[in-house]
Amino acid sequence: MAEETQIGPSIRAQLGKATPVIGRFEAMILLGFVTGRTRENLIAHDDDELTDEEIMRFDLLVSLRAAGTPVPYLTGTQEFYGRHFQVTDRVLIPRPDTEVLIEQALLVAPAAPRIIDLGTGSGCIAVTLALEIPGAKVTATDSSSDALEIARGNADVLGADIRFLEGFWWDAVPADEQFDLIVSNPPYIRPDDEHLRNLEYEPLGALTDGIDGLECLRVISAGAMARLSRGGWLLLEHGYDQGADVRAMLEDAGFAAVRTIRDYGGNDRVTMGRRAD
């Protein structure tokens, strides 16, 4: 405490204080959030003095971050495919890996497609596809009403017209409906995966099926063929070591043109297949 009182109130001093604790990059994001200043503004005006209240709020966020809370849960926002999505700890934080699913969906989408996103979470996939594909008719589901509320808010703010349905996977969807594109980023981490321990701030139900990591992928692919129009595509995000399993799943379900796409880190990430004519 005595040490802290010697630190001046300038932006430079405050960033200097936080950088050894959480790194300069995140310190800038949090200070930008507290002050409403852009990164450029913080750099250009680093002699400016912060108010006591700003310093107090900044200190609190830095300590929460140091204790493990992910930055998007502190600022309430995460960028995905060039847009800002609101997030809370009731939804998974959108990941750059999932942008691979978007890119592939854009490549195979027919004109004015009917799209369904199963387990939409923050809504980042559904909203992005609705805004990127002219004439798309998008449905998004989630079993969590909290998630649907957040996804609805994102759709409203970003101007996407989406129909939301509550329920588990296909249970949420009227039996006779057909789609041209079925997409999902379901929980796929194995419950015994060590990686899960680093994700303790995110909702467990969005990360793991509690079984073998493949259960939700199985349920979604088993029901997909009956809901796809001829020539329609199913695109599934999955774990780095699940490519072969998901390809087998799709081939067993009768999909054609089954292939796996890697993410920017070079890991298998999205497997897709087509309902042949």
User: Which of 11/189 has CB closer to ligand GLN?
Assistant: 189
Q: Work out whether 223 is an interface residue with ligand GLN (CB under 6 A).
A: no
Whether the Cβ atoms of residue 22 and residue 62 lie closer than 8 Å to each other: yes
Q: Work out whether 97 is an interface residue with ligand GLN (CB under 6 A).
A: yes
Q: Work out whether 123 is an interface residue with ligand GLN (CB under 6 A).
A: no
# chain residues binding ligand GLN, by CB under 6 A: 10
User: CA 244, 248, 252 angle in degrees (round to 5)?
Assistant: 175
Provide Rg for the chain, Cα atoms.
Answer: 21
Tokens of 105: 């969906």
User: Which of 113/186 has CB closer to ligand GLN?
Assistant: 186
Q: Work out whether 104 is an interface residue with ligand GLN (CB under 6 A).
A: no
User: Which of 187/232 has CB closer to ligand GLN?
Assistant: 187
Q: What is the smallest separation between the CB atom of 157 and ligand GLN, expressed in angstroms?
A: 23
User: Which of 72/187 has CB closer to ligand GLN?
Assistant: 187
Tokens of 166: 């509550």
Tokens of 156: 């409203």
User: Which of 58/80 has CB closer to ligand GLN?
Assistant: 80
Q: Work out whether 71 is an interface residue with ligand GLN (CB under 6 A).
A: no
User: Restricting to residues 180-199, which ones interact with ligand GLN according to CB under 6 A?
Assistant: 185-189, 199
Tokens of 65: 């971050």
User: Which of 50/207 has CB closer to ligand GLN?
Assistant: 207
Q: Binder to ligand GLN among 37, 57, 95, 262 (CB under 6 A)?
A: 95
Measured distance CA(248)–CA(250) in Å, rounded: 5
Measured distance CA(267)–CA(57) in Å, rounded: 38
Q: What is the smallest separation between the CB atom of 102 and ligand GLN, expressed in angstroms?
A: 14
Q: Work out whether 212 is an interface residue with ligand GLN (CB under 6 A).
A: no
256 beta partners: 274
Q: Work out whether 207 is an interface residue with ligand GLN (CB under 6 A).
A: yes
Q: Work out whether 125 is an interface residue with ligand GLN (CB under 6 A).
A: no
User: Which of 64/199 has CB closer to ligand GLN?
Assistant: 199
Measured distance CA(243)–CA(27) in Å, rounded: 37
Measured distance CA(161)–CA(173) in Å, rounded: 18
Q: Work out whether 169 is an interface residue with ligand GLN (CB under 6 A).
A: no
Q: Stretches 37-45, 47-55, 70-78, 90-98: which one binds ligand GLN (CB under 6 A)?
A: 90-98
Three-class SS string for 154-202?
A: HHHHHCCCEEEEECCHHHHCCCCCCEEEEEECCCCECCCCHHHHHHCCC
How many beta carbons lie within 10 A of that of residue 247, not counting itself? 19
Measured distance CA(57)–CA(38) in Å, rounded: 17
**Given the rule CB under 6 A, which residues bind ligand GLN?**
92, 95, 97, 185-189, 199, 207
